[in-house]
Amino acid sequence: MSENTNCHCGRENAGRRQACQSGPTSPCDSADESREQQALEERLGRIRHRVLVMSGKGGVGKSTVAVNIAISLALAGKRVGLLDVDIHGPSIPKMLRIEDATVRAVGGAIQPVDKAGLKVMSMGFLLPKRDDAVIWRGPMKMIAIRQFLKDVEWGELDYLVIDSPPGTGDEPLSVAQLAAPVDAAVIVTTPQDMATADVRRSITFCRKLS
């Protein structure tokens, strides 16, 4: 999936966009941004707690921890969503054995996949083929994460567990900005020197954004 591929079909905006292309700060663009921000805030207002799961390096079990946190909370009777924002390497669908699941839009909202009471959303559900690569830079990834937060029908949740890719790049930064305030960050590591060195950077990242 290349950067020329949009995450959504803006059919409702067709025609209106042409009339508004007078410049980067046209009144129409400002109005659209205001509506999008309001929709995002309304959606997030129905989620009590947001938990970001991070790691400094890959292969330390971060996604496994994210899944286990989400399942444990659901088994405790909480209403839980699980959002996979690893745009380039989504693993949550495979871990939950829902790789063949598809998402659909109802009433303008994307319906998450239901797995044993968990509401799950991942880029993996949107790829035409499992092995397709997502070739996006930072701005496109931020747009996708905004849509996951704003356009998915999460409903009323006690917890939204967000599994981010390793490191402190675009995805965790976008989550920290768009889903603020994030209530907690779980940083996963292993005892190796290289892994613990990287996890310290993740801790610094969280402290700077808190």
What's the CATH code of the domain at 64? Answer: 3.40.50.300
Q: Is 3 a member of any domain?
A: no
Q: Is 75 a member of any domain?
A: yes
Of 29-38, 77-86, 96-105, which range is least confident?
29-38
Q: Is the pTM of this model over 0.75?
A: yes
User: 73 — phi, psi (to 5°)?
Assistant: -65, -40
Q: Is 20 a member of any domain?
A: yes
pLDDT-derived band at 179 (thresholds 50, 70, 90) equals confident
On the CB side of 49, CA atoms within 13 Å amount to 12
Cα–Cα distance measured from residue 120 to residue 103, given in angstroms and rounded to the nearest whole number: 10
Cα–Cα distance measured from residue 62 to residue 165, given in angstroms and rounded to the nearest whole number: 9
Confidence at residue 5, expressed as pLDDT on a 0 to 100 scale = 52
Q: Is 5 a member of any domain?
A: no
Work out the average pLDDT over 52-65: 89
When comparing pLDDT for 26 and 117, which is higher? 117
Q: Is 42 a member of any domain?
A: yes
Work out the average pLDDT over 162-171: 85
187 in Cβ contact with 202 (< 8 Å): yes
**Total domains in the fold of the chain:** 1
Percent of all residues in the chain with a pLDDT value above 90, rounded to a whole number: 38
- The string over 88-113, giving b where at least 16 C-beta atoms fall within 10 Å of a residue's C-beta and e elsewhere, is eebbbbebbebeebeeeeeeebbebb
Cα–Cα distance measured from residue 78 to residue 117, given in angstroms and rounded to the nearest whole number: 9
User: 27 — phi, psi (to 5°)?
Assistant: -55, -35
* pLDDT above 60: residue 46: yes
Range of the domain at 168: 11-209
